[in-house]
Amino acid sequence: MKKILGLSAFYHDSAAAILIGGEIIAAAQEERFTRQKHTPDFPIHSIRYCLEEAGLSIDELDAVVFYDKPLLKFERLLETYYAFAPKGLVSFLKAIPVWLDEKMFLKKLIKDGLQEVGGYDKNKLNLLFSEHHLSHAASAYFPSKFQKAAVLTIDGVGEWSTASIGLGEGNNFHMLKELEFPHSVGLLYSAFTYFLGFTVNSGEYKLMGLAPYGNPDDPQTSEFEKKIKENLVDIKEDGSIWLDQKFFNYATGLRMVKDESWKSIFGFKRREPEDQLEQYHCNLALAIQRVTEEIVIKMALTAKRICDADYLCLAGGVALNCVANGKLLQKGIFKDIYIQPAAGDAGGALGAALAVSHLYFGEERVFKTDSDQMKGSYLGPEYSEKEIQLMNRKVKAVCEKYSDFHSLAQLVASKIAEGKVIGWFQGRMEFGPRALGNRSIIGDARNPEMQKKLNLKIKYREGFRPFAPSVLAEKCGEYFDLNEDSPYMLIVAPVLEKRRKLLPENYHQMDLWEKLYRERSDIQSVTHLDFSARIQTVHKETNSRYWRLIAEFERQTGFGLVVNTSFNVRGEPVVCTPFDAYRCFMSTEMDYLVIGDFVYIKNQQPDWGNREKWMVEFKPD
């Protein structure tokens, strides 16, 4: 039984994961411990946690594996600058010293970082390097429940590859086809993220959330889509793409696009981050979302053709585009699809470890046909009652402990039904970007005011942002047109017709905010403008407490779902510790906090009206 530590670091979303005999023991992102969102720093805290959870020291590991190959990446950097010369000199002069000073000596950086975690014998260390897209592919295929599957990975860029198709069968995986830099679906989407005023590598989900505000009947939307295809991207039948680099700046510049050339194409200048959103911004968001969906579906068709497999696994940052995932599922190209919940670079740490376990050491793949191996993605740290009590004493919290979970669930469900907002902190922290019921803020999906309240008074973020439903897996079909499980909140599906309310004929011509606050269904706060929802199916087997809470809410109200959003404010990583949760609770307008068996009521806390005392300033994402 090999003991393997996987790492990702030095770009964004640093993380660590640990396996024993191919079983996933623990995984966590470094941002959760350092409170710096998307941190690229070496994951010292994540490694410490993983080793503690596994009961191992560094000397006991059979291998430590990094998620990509830095020398191949450096080769791409040099060849790109050479190909574009003399353009990009400023960018070159900025990038090369960093590479020469740090990334060329990555082995030393990793070994020094591990030394900081705990002393070990450097001569015994078996340090390996996986390829970036192999790490993504392994993270999706090996934990899946499929014996044979096509594997599609799509992101910005790894070493050279920006997308790949491979075949997983039994214990083996073979890479079959790759798309290379600078032609990249992920970078194309990120370019629009930048142009529409959001932050690259973190704001792509905002762009996806903005797209439904676009007017599908407006000729401008179709015109934008046409201009994207005529000027920026040539989409081949197999899903491969060619990007016209005269309009982009990411290969050698310090920005994603050439602003003036994009202004000439679309007729408006780049939106600044805090500028008001106009309808043309929304229409452009819808246009690039449609283009992205077209590319993803064509890539999936190619994967089906060359792999001759009934199932598909997805990973890479673009696999977090749950709207595209939903459209892909609806097409019925594959019998089923599986998406790695930590599909971005954090998941690369896990994938690298899995690749080494099965492809390097030849360990037998353990899989079940009825569930994946991700354990619900609840792979992070959990905290004992003693640790919660220590926090209570430290902050002088006023709380009540419930010895009976049924009574606790009854109380919380009744408060949700009254329109209260609950901070819900339980068990092991989630691995990946989604809060799945252990580090969540929850509310009543029926309440028409809940979306506005959560955005403006709890999350302190843009009012247009949508929220997801957590629905009992057994009851999903009563609310949504989805016949598959979606445990990781990675599939968007339509709200059933019977749940919808009739909209006025001029709905698509309405102002953005008018549309937002127009009642669309009886589960208003999780129904997006296009009658879609990003669904989490909650399963009793993987999260009994969350399932039982929602079941109790259904008993009281007749509705087996709640609003679920991540437990944090804008720019903050999801909370990790009980103290993180209490601080976030006190700095927002949340009404109740539940940590394990302890219940905290806002107006009973010392200084409960002094939110400024607890606020921490985070860089807006």
The maximal CA–CA distance of the chain, rounded, in angstroms, is 72
Q: Which amino acid is at 300?
A: A
| pLDDT-based confidence at residue 274 (cuts at 50, 70, 90) | confident
Q: Which helix (H) or strand (E) holds 423?
A: strand 422-425
| C-alpha to C-alpha distance for 394 and 415, rounded to whole angstroms | 27
What would the two tokens of residue 581 be?
A: 């949760």
What would the two tokens of residue 129 be?
A: 């390097």
Vertex 380: Cα angle to 375 and 383 (nearest 5): 115
Enter the DSSP assignment of 127: E
- CATH hierarchy code of domain 144-339: 3.30.420.40
Q: Is 64 a residue whose pLDDT tops 90?
A: yes
Q: Is 123 a residue whose pLDDT tops 90?
A: no
| C-alpha to C-alpha distance for 197 and 202, rounded to whole angstroms | 12
Cα–Cα distance list, 207 to 72, 92, 230 (Å): 31, 29, 21
Q: Counting every residue, how long is the chain?
A: 621
Lowest mean pLDDT across 65-74, 144-153, 542-551, 565-574: 65-74
Looking at CATH, the fold of the domain delimited by 385-613 is given as: DHBP synthase (3.90.870)
What would the two tokens of residue 276 be?
A: 């008001």
Enter the DSSP assignment of 476: G
Tens digits of per-residue pLDDT, 395-425? 999 999 999 999 999 999 999 999 999 999 9
The pLDDT of residue 7 is: 98
Tens digits of per-residue pLDDT, 71-82? 666 555 655 554
Q: What is the CA radius of gyration of the chain?
A: 24
- What lies within 8 Å, CB to CB, of 146 at 6+ separation is 168, 311, 313, 336, 338, 367
The pLDDT of residue 560 is: 98
Q: Which helix (H) or strand (E) holds 64?
A: strand 63-66
Share of the chain above pLDDT 90, in %: 75
Vertex 39: Cα angle to 37 and 43 (nearest 5): 125
- Write a three-state SS string for 100-119: HHCHHHHHHHHHHHHHHHCC
| C-alpha to C-alpha distance for 383 and 398, rounded to whole angstroms | 19
Q: Contact 542/549 with Cβ under 8 angstroms? A: no
pTM above 0.85, yes or no: yes
| pLDDT-based confidence at residue 83 (cuts at 50, 70, 90) | low
Q: Is 469 helix (H, G, I), strand (E, B) or coil?
A: strand
| pLDDT-based confidence at residue 532 (cuts at 50, 70, 90) | very high
The contacts found for 109-118 with CB under 8 angstroms, 24 or more apart, are: 109/10, 109/42, 110/7, 110/42, 110/64, 110/66, 113/9, 113/42, 113/44, 113/47, 114/47, 114/58, 114/64, 116/44, 117/44, 117/47, 117/48, 117/51, 117/58, 118/48, 118/51, 118/57, 118/58
279-307 helix and 185-195 helix, angle to the nearest 10 degrees: 170
- CATH hierarchy code of domain 3-136+344-373: 3.30.420.40
Tell me how far the alpha carbon of residue 434 is from its chain's centroid.
6
283 vs 157, more confident: 283
- What lies within 8 Å, CB to CB, of 150 at 6+ separation is 165, 166, 167, 168, 300, 303, 304, 306, 307, 309, 311, 312, 313, 334
Domains 3-136+344-373 and 144-339 are alike in CATH topology:
yes
Peptide bond into 466 cis (omega under 30): no
Q: Where are the beta strands (DSSP E) in 438-482?
A: 439-443, 468-472
Q: Where are the beta strands (DSSP E) in 181-325?
A: 233-235, 241-243, 311-315
Mean pLDDT of 288-293: 97
| C-alpha to C-alpha distance for 599 and 154, rounded to whole angstroms | 42
Q: Domain boundaries in the chain?
A: 3-136+344-373, 144-339, 385-613
Q: Is 252 a residue whose pLDDT tops 80?
A: no
| pLDDT-based confidence at residue 178 (cuts at 50, 70, 90) | very high
β-strand 233-235 against 241-243: which pairing, if any?
antiparallel
| C-alpha to C-alpha distance for 257 and 541, rounded to whole angstroms | 47
